[in-house]
Structure formats: structure tokens, C-alpha cells
Structure 1
Amino acid sequence: MSAAPHGSDEPDTVAMPVATTGGQPGIFAPGRRVLTSGIVLIITIVAFEALAVATILPLVEADLGDLHLYGWVFSAFFLGNLVGIVVAGQAADRTPLVIPFAGGVALFAAGLALAATAPSMRVLVLARALQGLGAGALPAVAYVCIGRAYPPEQRPRLFALLSTAWVLPSLVGPAAAGFVGEAIGWRWVFAGLLPLVLAFGAVVAGTLRRIVTPGGGAVATVSVRDAVLVAGAGAAVLAGLGAEPWWLATSLLFVGLAVGLPAFRRLTPPGTLRLAEGLPAAIGLRGLLTFAFFAADAYVPFTLATVRGVSPGVAGLALTAAALSWTAGSWIQARQVHRSGPRSLVRVGFVVLSGATLAFAIVFLPAVPPALGLPLWGLGGLAMGLAYSPLSLTVLGSAPRGGEGTATAALQLADTLGVALGTGTSGAVITWATAAGWDRSLGLVLVFASAAAVAALGAVLVARLPCRVPLEDAVTG
């Protein structure tokens, strides 16, 4: 079945395309414009939340203390995301998309309410885990929409559009969050997002009812139990990285790896851990990419605010620069990916990310204006724009019909696990540095150097990606 023809009203349903010819309606054609707008709203919600939290967290830490839990505010969100993504991806292959989406919105809203009233950093970490559990459904649902309702040659434009959804939040989000946090308190940032989430959720839910859940699709192989095991194992690994004494740290690391690796294997295509060529490599590289970027990104505003003394609002502008350049890079890849192929674009992205992360470290020098950190981290965002979407396109082009939820859940699983481990590892590095009596700046320099090394490793491993984006959807079986 194809989408409704040009000139018709919005269809009752939107089914998977069966052809990839140029005759398919565009992403804003009458039969798709509400759906496209709804997907963009989903990403806008995620963007506002991510940029606001990263901007105000230095204020939160100054109020609640517990610097050793700073990284956990990010990691808890993404560990919760792991479970939410898997649950939503599995549900998307079996139930109407509106069901996992509505559940995700409800949990995300509850997490915002708890964060707004958190009396301690530990409660805030718990609230962020709840937000992550709900938010995991949002990108998972969006990816399934793209896989089912748009032909392959239109997906690069749609992924570029999703990056554009970060533009408005990146322009007003950090400055607004910084102003609200300093003027009336950081709690109002969470409280202010709550009505937006509920309003956007109501709009998007109406569009999702139009998406067909195909019968006879691939049987989901993921399980909620394994998702919980991966999230718990990730938490154990991160706790072990910062634990004392040594025997407790070693025990936590051993248990985390022993439990988490087998569960991760069951949740992802065979060969993902060793980056086997094709689909497994695309999923594994996505984890490396997000690890490298967010390990540094979480501490960019913190560095500018606490080391160089700029206001949280100004420090948050570095995130604005990264989001805008991410959007620019995504539009560049949309024009080039079918010419150059995913391998070359992802390699360039990893190389630029490694260089940008290392270059950002010069803002620690007193003689360097802190404002230089904004364009430097903008290069990091550009790198992500070039590399991120080609990996998504590779996965979608290889996914079996009716199994888009399972395939994209595996991609999002690696994606969010990379973020959680990246931010958590950076927090552990700072904890080690503090415990050793080192200056805080030295610990932050080690964070950026480690992130750059991971990006450099990714640049080497991209040889396992296909040279060209698969244009035809794989058939089941």
C-alpha cells in the first residue's frame, strides 16, 4: 500500500511505501504534511529538554551539591532510555504507534514534575531516569514512522529536517533556560517544560493514529528483560568506575560486563559488538559516535561556567552553536550521502569530531577568550551532522519490512548506551581526578582527551560500513 495520492485530504492511514521512484509524494505533500510536522514536534520536545538541562546543571550542582553525581544526571536519563526504546520498538511492531507514544509522554511528564520538586541530587537522578524511560519512546516511534511512511530516497531529507527541529530550541533554549534558572530558579525550567510536553504530545498522538501497523511482520527478538539487564549492567559499570575501595569497583565492573554483554548481544543483530560489516557495524559505530560526542558535550557548559567564569546562559550558547552546525551538517549529508556513500561521510565526521574535541581544550588557557569555545564546539556539532544520519539511513535501508521497530530499537539502544557510558565515564574521570587531589581543570582536560581518542578509533573502524546507502528495503527472511 502507498500513501494517499497528491491532492487528497489527510489519509486515515499511512502505510509503507512499495516503490522508491521519484513519483512518490514529498515529505510535505498533502498526504504526509501532518505526519511530518508531528515527527518534527517529537524531536523538538527532546531538543528543548536536552539543551535546557545541560545549561542549568551548573546551577543545580551549586544548589544541591554532590558533584560526583553530576554525570549521573545525564547517564540516568539515557539508561532509562534504553528500556524505553526497547519497549517502544517492540510495541511498534505489534500495536498502533500511538500506544507506546502516549505511555512515553506520560512517564516523561511525571519525570519533569519530580525533577521540579527534587530535594536532592539523588532524587533528581531518579527523576531523570523516569524522564529517560518515557523519552525513549519518542525517537523510537519517530524512526518507525520514517521507515514505514517514507520511501528510501526521501529519508535523507527527513533526517535533515529532524536536525532542523533543533534550531529553534538551540536558539532560545540555552539562553531561556539560563535566564529562568538565574532569575527565578532552576526548578522552573523543568516545570516550564511540562505544559509543552503535554501540548505537543496531544498534537502528535493524533498523527500517529494514521500509521498502519503491518501484519505478518518480522517477529520481535528484543525483550524487556534484556533491556533492563543492559540498563542495570550499565549502571553497575558506571558505579564501578567511580567506586572505592578497589575490590568493590572491580566487582561492579565484572558483574556489569558479565550481565550486560550477553543481554546486549540478544538485543542487537549478530556481530554488533565486533562491528561486523553492514548493519551490525552501523549500529556499533553509532554507539561509538555518541560516546565520543556526549562524553565531551555534557561538560562543555560546565567547563565554561566553572573554569572560565561565564554565566550559564552564555555557556549554553556553545550548545546552540553545536546544534546549529549539527543541522548544517545534516543538510550537507542529505545532499551528498547518495553520491559519496555513508562510509566517507561518517569517516569525515569522526575525524572532525576528534579534532574539535581536542581543540576545545585550549579554552582552559587563561589567555584564550572563553568565547572561542563556541565556534570550536560548533565544529563538533558539524561532525555529528555529517556522521549521524548516514548511520540511520544504513540501518533503515537494511531493516526487514514490518521489523523497522526492532531494527531501529537496536540502533537507538546503541545510541543511548553510548551517551550514558560516555557521560558516566567522563564523570568518573573527574571523580578520580578530585580524589587524587588534582585540579578540576586537569580532570576536565582528561575528559576531552579521552573523547577525542574514542572518535579517532571510530574513524579507523568506519571501513566496515557499506560504500553506498541501501536504497531498497530488505525483505523479511
Structure 2
Amino acid sequence: MSHPQALRSGAMSASLRPLTIGVIAIITCAAFEAMAVVTAMPSVAAELNGVSSYGLAFSMYLTASLLGSVLGGIWCDRRGPRPALAVGMGLMIAGLAVSGSAPAFWIMTAGRAVSGLGGGFMIVAVYVIIAKAYPQRMQPVVFGWLAAAWVVPSLIGPYVAGVLAEQASWRWVFLGVAPVIVAAFLLVWPRTERLKVAGSPEPLDRAARRNAGTGLLLAGGVFAAQFALTKIASDGFADPVAAWLLVMLGVAGLAAAAVSFPRLLPAGTVRLAPGLPSVIATRGLMTVAFFGAEAFVPLMLVSARGLSASTAGLALSAAAIGWSAGSFVQAKVSFRRQWLLVIGASLLSVCIGGLALAVAAEVPFWVLVLVWSAAGFAMGLTLSSTSVLVLKLSAPHEQGRNSAALQLSDQLGGVVGTAGAGGLFALLRDPEAPGQIPVFVAIWLALCVFAVVGIVAGLRAARGESEHLPATTHTGKVPSQE
């Protein structure tokens, strides 16, 4: 329980301030690395001769973070957030050190995987810390601040990384983040002592062992599918035997991911069962639509509008500011929070559909910036709300596992959105006319469908239990509203 004075003074009270600042600093570091690495990676690939394996540097981080989220959730439920936080920090620092000092691209990629594993542990631990250290009325405010922690890295991260890569070395993009993560950890660690689980932890039960194995199967399946697609894209079908083996590997990976992913979510998530399952489903559907669409906004502005990359980046910066604004607004609502999911998904549907109308040359650039800032607002409104709802609708002993399920939905949503949009782009585009507007319109209309389904998921979430009632969420026993 929180100190009575903290309850009265808020998340920045004297007793909670170091913990709050430390948690925000952890998320800020993760955000800076995510934004900066994108900018620095072309320099990394050129120096280490890794252009052909470029995509693996990103997919390895994500794949390992999937596994880290699953294992971290199990660990947090059994031991509290401290062990997962400590191990996650150690793995992230080790991965940054390996990537920053790597003499070869595959070693740098391996370092990214280690960092991703650590990031999965740390993010789930942060969610559980928020659930246990802050009363429910403070949690929307804290999640709003965490979303705001992405704004500065989104605005300056790419620029700082570009300057470091050009004026010093891309290695400092990795190595420079490590000391800040250590400082943030030192702020958080002493304040989590009281969050430990009393007594000796029980041995892993059958369900926990099954979840760990399923998480490993999911990570392996995602990696196999992305590795196969990367190799086929780079090598083509010059060697038919090798190409067909890669196709079989990719299909097997997709099958493994499709079988394992639903088993790591609360029962009924895939069929949009009322209550918490639909909350988690809404998160995944929103990330599919937003990140898939955002990946092609700069490309359209550069190839079809002829804008510079820095000017095109203004649309992404506007989305980051909108995201922060949405997160702050959701902290102020007084009505039932599930309806924010419906509002956010509806606004995102309008924005992505609006992109298809606003790409015409006659439409001013500022209109596109405004549309995409509104899309960011919708994401901030919705994703922060899903974070709050997952903690409210989870039984105390399932907060780690359900937080991990939310992260899995988030992470795979981003993969499905960007990979699916990329596949559609490769299928439809004409290499002789890369700026074809109809191709981008088709991508955004396809992704708009996911946002529309997100509206349905939000409505199903609103039909579930009251956000003030406990739920045995992972078993699928969702109490009736009546």
C-alpha cells in the first residue's frame, strides 16, 4: 500500500517522486533507443556490411522482447517485479554494450536480441510496479506521463542519432544510452523493496511451464518467419531448393506463431469476448492500423510529394505530440474508461481513411500533418486507457501475466501492421513509378479495416465487467454486468 501522504499528494509526492522519475526515465531511454536506432541503422549496415540483413536488426529485438515479456510476466506474478527489473536491466546494458562494440553485423544483431530480451522483462516489471505502488486513481496520470516520455525522444532522437553517426560514431547511439538506464534503475530499485513477494516462491506450476514453452514457441515462430522472408527478399529464387526450404520454414514459423499467440492471451481475446479480452484485442488492432500506416507516410511524402526526409518527418513529430496530448486527456476523464477505446478507434479509423483522401497533390501538406497528429491523439487516448484497464481488470496474482499479454498484443500488432503493409506495397508498386498514389491509398484503406474492427472490440470491452470489479481474467471467467 502507498503511504497516506502519497495518496493525498499524488504521484509526485515526496515518497513517490523518485520512483515516478525513475520509471519515466526508463521509458524515456527505451523510447530514445527505439527512435535513434532507426536513424543510425543505415550507417551501421554500411560500415559492417549488413545491408542484406538490415531487417533482422529490428526483428531480432522484437522477437526477443516477445519472449522477455512472457517470461517476465510469469516471474513478476511469482516473485514481484524486482527480479525481472534487475535481470532486464542487466540484459539491456549487456546488449547495448555488445551492439555498440560489435565488429560484425551479426554480432550487432545478436546484441539487439539481448537488449530486446531485457526490454521485455523491464517493461512488464514497470507495469507491475505501477499496479502495486500507485493507487488506481493515480495510474491514468502515470501512464499519461509515460506516453509523454516518448515525445522528446521522438522529436530529438533521430536528429541526435544522425549527428552522432555523422560527427562521431554510430556506436555512441548504443553506448550512450547505457549510463542513463543505470541511473534510472538506481532511482527505481530502492523503492521496490516493499513490492517483493513474501516467503519463498513456489515451484513453477504446470500452467507457468506451459506458458514459458508457448512463449518460446511464439518467439521462435516469429523469428523463423521473418528470417525466411528476409532471405527470400535478398536472395530471391536463384537457388530453387534453398528458396523452397525457406518458404517451408516461413510457413512453419507462421503456423507456430498462429497456434501459440492466442494461448498467451486471456481466453476469448481472438473472438473479442466482452471485458478484458476485448481490451487487449483493441490494443493489438490499433497498433496494426497505426504503425502499418505510419511506416508509409514519410515514403509517400518523399516519393509522391517530393518533400525532403526532414520535412516529411514533421508528420511523425506531430503524431508524437498528438499521442502525448491524448494520454493527458485520458487521465482527466470521469466517465467509464472503456468508452475511450471506442472513441479512439473511431477517430483512428477516420484519420487513416482521411489519409487516402488527403494524398492528392491539391491538398496542402499541413492538412496531412493535422490528420496524422489526430491519429497520434487517438493512439494516446486509447493505448494509455488499455494499460489502465488491464491493471484494473486483473486479479492481483495475474497482473504480470496480463501485462505481458498486453505487451505481446502491442508488439505483434506492430509487426503485422508494418510487415503486412510492406508486403502489399511490394505486391502493388511499380518499380518504374515509385510515387504512385493509388498504392498508398490501397495500403491505408486496408489498414483502416483493422481500426474499424477496433471499434467493435472497444464496444465489446464496454459490455464487459465494471472496471472496478476484480476478474479471473486469464481463465476467461468474465462476470456478467447484470
Return the TM-score normalized by structure 2.
0.82
Corresponding position: 1:6 with 2:5: yes
Structure 2 counterparts to residues 371-390 of structure 1, below 5 A: 373-390=368-385
Tell me the equivalent position of 1:341: 337
Written as runs of structure 1 = structure 2, the 5 A alignment for 1:176-325 is: 176-213=160-197, 221=208, 223-239=211-227, 243=232, 251-301=248-298, 303-304=300-301, 313-325=310-322
Q: Percent identity?
A: 36
Cα RMSD for the two superposed structures: 3.5
Contact 1:38 1:207 in 2 (8 A): no
What amino acid maps onto 2:132 in structure 1?
R
Pick the aligned partner of 1:128 from 106, 112, 123: 112
Change (3 A) 1:146 1:474: farther
CA distance in 2, matches of 1:87, 1:367: 51
Of 78-87 and 458-467, the range deviating more from structure 2? 458-467
Once the two structures are TM-superposed, the CA of residue 315 in structure 1 deviates from its matched residue by 4.2
Q: Does 1:470 align with 2:458?
A: no
Q: Which moved more, 1:419-428 or 1:278-287?
A: 419-428
Q: Distance in 1 between matches of 2:73 and 2:471?
A: 18
User: Kindly tell me: are residues 448 and 60 of structure 1, through their superposed partners in 2, closer, same or farther at Cα, counting changes over 3 Å?
Assistant: farther
Q: CA deviation at 1:25?
A: 5.6
Q: Distance in 2 between matches of 1:470 and 1:439?
A: 51
Q: Which one is further off, 71-80 or 216-225?
A: 216-225
Query: Which runs of no fewer than 5 residues in structure 1 stay unpaired?
Result: 8-22
Structure 1 residues 305 and 109, CA gap change in structure 2 (3 angstroms): farther
For residues 96 and 48 of structure 1, the distance between their equivalents in structure 2, rounded to whole angstroms, comes to: 27
What is the rounded CA distance, in whole Å, between the counterparts of 2:304 and 2:47 in structure 1? 18
User: CA, structure 1 residues 238+446, in 2 after alignment: closer, same or farther (shift >3 Å)?
Assistant: farther
For 2:414, the equivalent position in structure 1 comes to 419
2:400 maps to 1:402: no
Structure with more relative contact order (C-alpha pairs < 8 Å, separation 6 or more): 1
Letter in 2 for 1:412: Q
Summarize deviations over 1:333-359 as a string: whole Å, max 9, x none.
2222x41431x3212222322333344
Contact preservation (8 Å) 2:33, 2:173: no
Deviation per CA, 1:205-250, whole angstroms, max 9, x where unpaired? 3333342335689976363321121112123344566646685576
Comparing 98-107 with 69-78, greater Cα deviation is found at 69-78
Q: Distance in 1 between matches of 2:317 and 2:434?
A: 25
C-alpha distance in structure 2 between counterparts of 1:264 and 1:432, whole Å: 27
Distance 1:415 1:466, change over 3 A: same
> How far does residue 120 in structure 1 lie from its aligned partner after superposition?
6.5
- Are residues 188 and 32 of structure 1, via their aligned partners in 2, closer, same or farther at CA, if it must alter by over 3 Å? closer
State the number of aligned residues.
458
Over 3 Å counting, the alpha-carbon distance change for 1:111 and 1:91 in structure 2 is same
1:440-475 residue CA offsets vs partner (Å, 9 max, x unmatched): 445655544433332222223322112575124447
Amino acid in structure 2 at the alignment position of 1:235: F
Note if 1:155 corresponds to 2:139: yes
- Normalising to structure 1: TM-score of the pair? 0.82
Distance 1:373 1:183 in 2: 33
**Partners of 2:281 and 2:409 within 8 A in 1:** yes
AA matched with 1:230: L
3-state DSSP class of the match of 1:223? helix
Deviations 1:138-169 (A, max 9, x none): 22011101211222222222211221222332
- Structure 1 contact 296–448 (Cα < 8 Å) conserved: yes
Structure 2 residue 452 is the aligned partner of structure 1 residue 456: yes
